[in-house]
Copies of this chain bind each other. A is one copy, B any other.
Amino acid sequence: MRKDIHSDGIPVLCESCEVRHRGLCGVLEPDQLVALAKTSTKHKISEGAELIGDAERIENYSNVLSGVVKLSKVMADGRQQIVGLQFAPDFLGRPFRAESDINVEAATEVSLCSFPRSAVERLMKEQPELEHRLLQQTLKELDEARDWMLTLGRKTAVEKVASFLLMIARNSHPNGQAGRQSLSFDLPLKRADIADFLGLTIETVSRQLTKLRAEGVISIENNRHVTIGNLARLEACAGA
């Protein structure tokens, strides 16, 4: 029924796309994909670059192809809280609202595929399945946000750090936790970002990491590369 999607009519731009099947585009018919591809562009964004500032107009929607994007809120006096992390193949952009009330920034080098607002909104009308997929992603983000509220409001510093490591680990190894062995991955965030994500200070994050390391639950090389020796123990530390 859908095997035609693999044959003719797929735009060149999309043919090699890493996220085409998992992302929003996956629900589009070949001709719709062609229409969208005409107006879409891929680009690389370097670490630290701001994609959308607070209260700026959103002109584009994007798919994250690789890298990590952080969504954050800032108070007048500079206190900052990261309220979401987007990985491939997440969708970026707040539908049905001209202004964003959050800051969007590349946490690592990021590559994106962007479309103008109007093109996406037009497609949404003619293809309800697109809106359905969008609803699914939004519900997923809502679930994540609520999980994180529990972490922010009720967990201790160690539990927060352990929860963060687990979240990153799960994202780095999407294939179920079949691998009982030691997991390892690179942290996509620097300490300051981790602190802003967990509602802690840099120093506290650092102390909890060394504590976990001292207890042999994890090991760290080069400040960024983490190996989880015993997954179950880390989960226990996270208060799961």
Contact surface of A with B, Cβ cutoff 8 Å: 71, 73, 75-77, 79-81, 83-84, 94-97, 101-102, 128, 131-132, 134-136, 138-139, 141-143, 145-150, 152-155, 198-199, 239
Contacts and interface: CB of A to CB of B under 8 A. Distances in A.
19 contacts: A73-B146, A73-B149, A75-B155, A76-B239, A81-B154, A84-B146, A95-B139, A96-B139, A128-B128, A131-B131, A131-B132, A131-B135, A138-B138, A138-B139, A142-B142, A142-B145, A145-B145, A145-B149, A149-B152
A81 B199 contact: no
B153 A198 contact: yes
A84 B189 CA distance: 28
A239 B75 contact: yes
B199 A154 contact: yes
Contacts of A142: 138, 141-142, 145
Contacts of A79: 154-155
A150 B83 contact: yes
A91 to B, nearest CB: 12
Contact of A102 (B71, B95, B101, B146): B146
B152 A96 contact: no
Contact of A83 (B77, B141, B149): B149
Contacts of A199: 152-154
Nearest to A132: B131
A149 B149 contact: yes
Nearest to A129: B128
Contacts of A198: 153
B139 A94 contact: yes
A150 B81 contact: yes
Contacts of A73: 146-147, 149-150
